[in-house]
Amino acid sequence: MINRLGAYLKWLALLPVFIVVVLLAVANDQTVTVSLNPFDNTDTVLSLDIALYQLGFALFAVGVLCGGFVMWNSQRKYRRRAKQKGYDAAKWQNRAERAERSAGNNQTMIAAPGKNTG
């Protein structure tokens, strides 16, 4: 119930943002020239003529990708530590299982001679 309420509240908060973004995209449909050559801005090979809202969306997407990469890279030490702890846990689990098996074998070996002598 609380999960659904959170989802509804999220959409309720994001709806005005989506409306503003769409209105900005409709209002800013004029073409702009983006020059990718910092030394010669009249270079036609490294220039793009795109709508202003497309430029905004492209810059937003690049920002999201760069931010995601930075966050993923900053979590590397924690992923490495979790992986190592997983290996350690598997190693200790394996040792415990071997110890239980060998203890069980020793129990039967010790109990077996007692039965024969009785």
- What are the tens digits of pLDDT across the range 2-21? 678 888 888 888 899 889 88
Q: Quick check: is 92 in a domain?
A: no
* 43 within 8 A of 35, measured Cβ to Cβ: yes
Number of domains forming the structure of the chain: 1
> What predicted TM-score, i.e. pTM, was given to this entire model?
0.56
Q: Quick check: is 35 in a domain?
A: yes
Q: Quick check: is 72 in a domain?
A: no
Per-residue pLDDT tens for 28-59?
788 888 888 888 878 888 888 998 888 888 99
* 24 within 8 A of 52, measured Cβ to Cβ: no
Q: Quick check: is 83 in a domain?
A: no
Q: Quick check: is 25 in a domain?
A: yes
Parent domain of 15: 1-52
